[in-house]
């Protein structure tokens, strides 16, 4: 294994929405050839799936762990259906969660994503993630780049408002750590308690 290969193997691969977004951005900023657009489409599609998954995790981790069937979900539509089953009144639940964080002095606003747009974009990106039956025309390649650039901008706007990702080098939300698996449920709750969030608010029943 060469030094370059060793460095690449040792680099941390973040599976958060922001991690996928950042890798997509780099591929679009410095494309070597059109194949980089395919990899960018994959990273952006994973970013969309992760956003929907993180939303489900956020609305379920208060009371239980995800089921095996829920962990296998990746399509935005099915993840959103799972959100509805778990929290049919999720808009009010989101308001409550935001209030909890504000009381504790944390400002990580939860913003519900546009699941319809995510599902549509997820499907459009899928076109470029299969073996092509014929070579893409120059027009198709331009359309692919426009789709990626426009979608990337919209995803950034969402992630920036939702503050789901690690947008500043030394600023990481408790939720990100929990989703990444670097802290477990108990550690997450202790960190929330250290943020002076009242215990009765953390464990508020549905």
- pLDDT tens per residue across span 57-89: 777 765 567 788 888 888 889 988 988 887 788
- Beta-carbon contacts of residue 82 (< 8 Å; ≥ 6 apart): 56, 70, 73
Q: What's the CA gap between 100 and 61, in Å, rounded?
A: 15
6 domain-assigned: no
- What is the C-alpha separation between 165 and 144, in angstroms, rounded? 25
| Pair 40, 148: CB distance under 8 Å | yes
In a domain? residue 180:
yes
Q: Which of 178, 160, 180, 157 is nearest to 168 (CA)?
A: 160
Quote the CA–CA distance of 110 and 94 in Å, as a whole number: 6
Q: Is residue 22 part of a domain?
A: yes
Tokens 């989101």, residue?
94
Identify whether 10 is part of a domain: no
* Euclidean distance between CA atoms 47 and 19, whole angstroms: 8
Sign for the CA dihedral angle at 125, 160, 158, 16 comes to positive
Question: pTM above 0.85?
Answer: no
Kindly state whether residue 68 falls inside one of the protein's structural domains: yes
- Asked whether residue 179 is assigned to any structural domain, the reply reads yes
Say if 1 falls within a structural domain. no
* Domain coverage including residue 154: 15-202
How much of the chain is helix, strand and coil, in % rounded to 5? Answer: 65, 0, 35
Phi, psi (5° rounding) for residue 171?
A: -125, 115
Q: How many domains does the chain have?
A: 1
> d(Cα 11, Cα 134) in Å, to the nearest integer?
35
Tokens 């489900």, residue? 56
Per-residue pLDDT tens listing for the chain (206 residues) = 554 444 455 567 888 888 899 999 999 988 888 889 889 999 999 999 998 888 887 777 655 677 888 888 888 899 889 888 877 888 887 787 778 777 767 666 778 888 889 999 999 999 888 888 888 899 998 999 999 999 999 998 888 776 543 322 223 466 667 777 777 777 766 666 554 333 333 333 32
Average pLDDT for the chain = 76
Residue 3 lies inside a defined structural domain of this protein: no
Q: How far is CA 153 from the centre of its chain?
A: 14
């Amino acid at each position: 294994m060469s030094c370059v290969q060793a460095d690449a193997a040792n680099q941390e691969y973040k599976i958060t929405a922001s991690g996928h977004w950042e890798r997509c951005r780099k591929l679009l900023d410095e494309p070597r050839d059109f194949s980089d657009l395919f990899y960018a489409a994959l990273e952006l599609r994973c970013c969309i799936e992760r956003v929907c998954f993180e939303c489900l995790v956020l609305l379920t981790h208060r009371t239980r762990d995800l089921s095996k069937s829920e962990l296998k979900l990746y399509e935005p539509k099915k993840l959103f259906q799972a959100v509805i089953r778990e929290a049919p009144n999720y808009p009010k639940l989101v308001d409550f969660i935001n209030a909890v964080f504000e009381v504790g002095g944390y400002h990580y606003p939860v913003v519900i994503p546009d699941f319809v747009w995510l599902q549509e974009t997820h499907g459009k990106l899928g076109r470029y993630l299969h073996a092509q039956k014929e070579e893409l025309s120059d027009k198709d390649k331009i359309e692919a780049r426009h789709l990626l650039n426009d979608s990337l901008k919209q995803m950034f706007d969402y992630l920036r408002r939702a503050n789901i990702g690690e947008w500043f080098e030394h600023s990481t939300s408790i939720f990100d750590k929990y989703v990444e698996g670097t802290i477990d449920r108990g550690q997450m709750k202790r960190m929330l308690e250290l943020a002076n969030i009242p215990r009765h608010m953390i464990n508020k029943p549905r």
